[in-house]
Homo-oligomer: A and B are copies of this chain.
Amino acid sequence: MPRAQPYDRDAALDAALTLFWRKGYYATSLKDIEAALNMKPGSIYAAFNSKETLFGLTLERYFRKQHADFVSTLKAAASPLQGLADYLRRFARLPLDDPQRSSCMLVKTLLGATEQDAKLGELAGQYIDQMIAEMAAAFEQAKQLGELPGEADAAHLARRYQADLTALGFEASRRISREELAVSAEELAQKVEAMRVRQT
């Protein structure tokens, strides 16, 4: 009776991503995964090596999406600083039931990781560092375009920007209204825009 239809790896990973994002690594059981991917244990272990490997793949997937999203927002903006501000404002426009409102998966993973099973936490940390590096590159570019003063510390600004983003994501995960979230996002966005050197 076996061999129903070959699984769709992309769809499976998307389903696993949604599941892990919602429930986290530890609270997600193989039963949950079987149901979400519509796969039996054997298939799951043939396709991915273990629960941990599968989680790692979904984490990478999540990172790629976030990263691509950030990069494209920056590219679409008139300037680096404008792009950084726009990216913050986008948060406020997310619908209340959007999965993004359940806080950044990287942050959840980092905070949820224990020291004896440190691999996942370290992985999440590395991805966050890559995001920070991308943000630092944007601030650096702003410097070279004369948007920021030459003495600005791009690395520090990037760390603070990422921290603000984390805090905003945390606010979003609470039960606050869209208006309140929009106000917070607007404040942070204006803080970024206020860094701009008045030119001529």
> A residues near B, CB below 8 A?
22-24, 26-27, 103, 107-108, 110-112, 114-115, 117, 125, 128, 156, 159-160, 163-164, 166-168, 170-171, 173-176, 180, 183-184, 187
* A111, A125, A171, A184, most chain B CB atoms within 10 A: A111
Least CB distance from A97 to B in Å reads 12
**Which of B23, B107, B163 is A184 in contact with, Cβ under 8 Å?**
B163
Q: Are B184 and A115 in contact (CB under 8 A)?
A: no
Least CB distance from A117 to B in Å reads 8
Q: Are B159 and A170 in contact (CB under 8 A)?
A: no
Q: Check A114/B180 contact, CB under 8 A, given A170-B163, A174-B125.
A: no
Q: Check A159/B173 contact, CB under 8 A, given A112-B24, A166-B167.
A: no
Q: Are A103 and B111 in contact (CB under 8 A)?
A: yes
In the bound complex, what is the Cα–Cα distance between A171 and B128 (angstroms)?
Answer: 11
In the bound complex, what is the Cα–Cα distance between A164 and B165 (angstroms)?
Answer: 10
Least CB distance from A25 to B in Å reads 9
| Chain B residues closer than 8 Å to A163, beta-carbon distance | 167-168, 170-171, 184
Q: Are B174 and A160 in contact (CB under 8 A)?
A: no
Least CB distance from A175 to B in Å reads 8
| Chain B residues closer than 8 Å to A166, beta-carbon distance | 166-167, 170
Least CB distance from A36 to B in Å reads 14
In the bound complex, what is the Cα–Cα distance between A108 and B26 (angstroms)?
Answer: 14
Q: Smallest CB-CB separation from A110: which chain B residue? A: B173
| Chain B residues closer than 8 Å to A156, beta-carbon distance | 180, 183
In the bound complex, what is the Cα–Cα distance between A163 and B176 (angstroms)?
Answer: 13
In the bound complex, what is the Cα–Cα distance between A99 and B146 (angstroms)?
Answer: 42
Least CB distance from A148 to B in Å reads 16
Q: Are A184 and B168 in contact (CB under 8 A)?
A: no
| Chain B residues closer than 8 Å to A115, beta-carbon distance | 22
